[in-house]
Structure 1
């Protein structure tokens, strides 16, 4: 009888559906709760399905239909998803801070994550790219007006004649007794102060002297015109700013479409060179040395010019004749770049 009952019980067990029966899991300790909490946080950031909220579909198990709380497989699936998930917020993985050293203020305040390197980019301005306050002819308004020449212009004049000329020398009513005259006087004073300030800063930083600068500017003037006559644009890049170099290239293209070649010659020395304007372009109000200086010069020279077509025939000019030419060029130099030199940044046509 006992053997019959045992066989009947085993047969009944085999006829039942297959279940993965396990004893109920023990309550989570503090350590297990911390691990589960950390997985829950990762669940929010990686969009991975949690293993404690949805049961696993065990339909692949032989002889079973339905759902069963098989959580072990879900844990493995979650770990697989976490290992293949990468955060897109940073390009470098942050290193954990050392337990023995406190974080530095730069690590706590900087927005760059730990382990990532800061790459500094230094932008250097080689030229402002424009002419600041271009020179223009202003209506001449003298401070004084006289119906006779100034007394000192004629040393042979008698004492009585000089007294008459001094008495005829009086104020210019337009400048001193009209609102427009006062405005013009104020503008003239401001312009002269700007000129003096720019020259003083240039002299302090570079040891500027008028004669030395005029000699250097005249050499640049001659070199630029010579290279333009040859059509040598690459050699012009060093003594011209980027914007001026682009302008010269366009002019040479237009000239080459009209003339095949040109002859240009400068008759030295120059007839006259004078400074029309001096300006300083500051980049930092707290650092006066971080600035550019622009000097506007007027060149009055004698030149020879002749242009030829593709057959070598003269189509314009005559190299046997000297022509008086007046040019106004703007020269620019940096006060803060090491090894800076003068370059042409513009030409002014009146």
Structure 2
């Protein structure tokens, strides 16, 4: 390759990068507005990134046939915005609705040979589930971090318990699914307004003390497209004080002076757009939310 060809090549790459920087935010950023009405990408900067050499040959006032306009690469990054089928699925299914794998805490081995004990099979199954779910989360979600998920679980744990104690569901609403919000509201309604609940967390766990003991990945009910749901079962240890009083102020349950060691198993769920190679942001507004409180 001659020096002239090398210079043209470097100039072409520089020109492509300059166009990409100038139009940044237009071809790769998540757009606003309706999922269905979002327009496909025809950005020249995108074509420059896909094929830098082509950028030198296209005039500024080019109006002819452009094969690159038929390749809407943004469907691979934001399918919930630029793919009508994925958009309909994401709009229709905000939650899977049920717990796929109900976790059971480990039990002591009962057989003299651990290799023949059913408990070993169950522990191995949960280990494989955690490994696969972690792999899917890291591969499919931009910026996924177990530390962030553990912090989210702790914030939800405190807010939901506070909502149950006070009867104000506004504390729980950002952290729970719609079905769980209805169940919590019904729980408070059945308790009655006359009852008063005092709840406080004496010892707040560190986010690292929250263990993700079981994970599952399930496709949407229609079994179509990239929309999947990830469910993590979190083990949350804490030290609490709970006391319930009737309308006359008489203590009917709990003890305001007794601290209890409590271990809860809560299932959190998040919709994702499963990816093969590159992670995606996921459906708009998707967040880890409480799906179920397991009774163990």
Range class of TM-score, shorter chain: 0.5 to 0.7
Tell me, in whole angstroms, the C-alpha distance in 2 between the residues paired with 1:285 and 1:196: 23
In structure 1, what is the equivalent of residue 196 of structure 2?
Answer: 261
Tell me, in whole angstroms, the C-alpha distance in 2 between the residues paired with 1:262 and 1:174: 45
Within the candidate set 119, 122, 140, 2:88 is matched to: 122
Within the candidate set 157, 178, 182, 1:221 is matched to: 157
What is the CA distance between 1:132 and its match in structure 2? Answer: 0.7
In structure 2, what is the equivalent of residue 136 of structure 1?
Answer: 104
Tell me, in whole angstroms, the C-alpha distance in 2 between the residues paired with 1:215 and 1:335: 19
In structure 2, what is the equivalent of residue 196 of structure 1?
Answer: 131
In structure 1, what is the equivalent of residue 286 of structure 2?
Answer: 340
Per-residue CA distance 1:296-325 (angstroms, 9 max, x = gap): 011110111222221233333332332111
Within the candidate set 88, 92, 115, 1:175 is matched to: 115
Q: 1:186 to 1:313 in 2, by over 3 A?
A: closer
In structure 1, what is the equivalent of residue 242 of structure 2?
Answer: 305
In structure 2, what is the equivalent of residue 42 of structure 1?
Answer: none
- Per the normalisation by structure 1, the TM-score is 0.49
> Secondary structure of the residue that 1:213 maps to in structure 2?
helix
Q: 1:317 to 1:188 in 2, by over 3 A?
A: closer
> Secondary structure of the residue that 1:270 maps to in structure 2?
coil
Tell me, in whole angstroms, the C-alpha distance in 2 between the residues paired with 1:186 and 1:322: 36
Tell me, in whole angstroms, the C-alpha distance in 1 between the residues paired with 2:108 and 2:266: 22
Per-residue CA distance 1:85-111 (angstroms, 9 max, x = gap): xxxxxxxxxxxxxxxxxxxxxxxxxxx
Tell me, in whole angstroms, the C-alpha distance in 2 between the residues paired with 1:226 and 1:134: 25
Q: When the two structures are aligned, how many residues end up with a matched partner?
A: 196
Tell me, in whole angstroms, the C-alpha distance in 2 between the residues paired with 1:331 and 1:264: 23
Q: Kindly indicate whether residue 184 of structure 2 is the aligned counterpart of residue 248 of structure 1.
A: yes
What are the equivalent positions in structure 2 for 1:14-29 lying under 5 Å apart?
none
Tell me, in whole angstroms, the C-alpha distance in 2 between the residues paired with 1:136 and 1:301: 19
Tell me, in whole angstroms, the C-alpha distance in 1 between the residues paired with 2:235 and 2:172: 21
- Per the normalisation by structure 2, the TM-score is 0.58
Q: 1:126 to 1:173 in 2, by over 3 A?
A: same
Instruction: Using CA pairs under 8 Å that are at least 6 residues apart, name the structure with larger relative contact order, 1 or 2.
Output: 2
Contiguous gaps of at least 5 residues in structure 2: 1-84, 274-282
> Secondary structure of the residue that 1:136 maps to in structure 2?
coil
> Secondary structure of the residue that 2:210 maps to in structure 1?
strand
What is the CA distance between 1:222 and its match in structure 2? Answer: 0.1
Tell me, in whole angstroms, the C-alpha distance in 2 between the residues paired with 1:327 and 1:188: 19
Structure of greater Rg: 1
Contiguous gaps of at least 5 residues in structure 1: 1-119, 146-171
CA RMSD of aligned residues (A): 2.9
Tell me, in whole angstroms, the C-alpha distance in 2 between the residues paired with 1:230 and 1:248: 12
What are the equivalent positions in structure 2 for 1:72-111 lying under 5 Å apart?
none
Tell me, in whole angstroms, the C-alpha distance in 2 between the residues paired with 1:185 and 1:315: 42
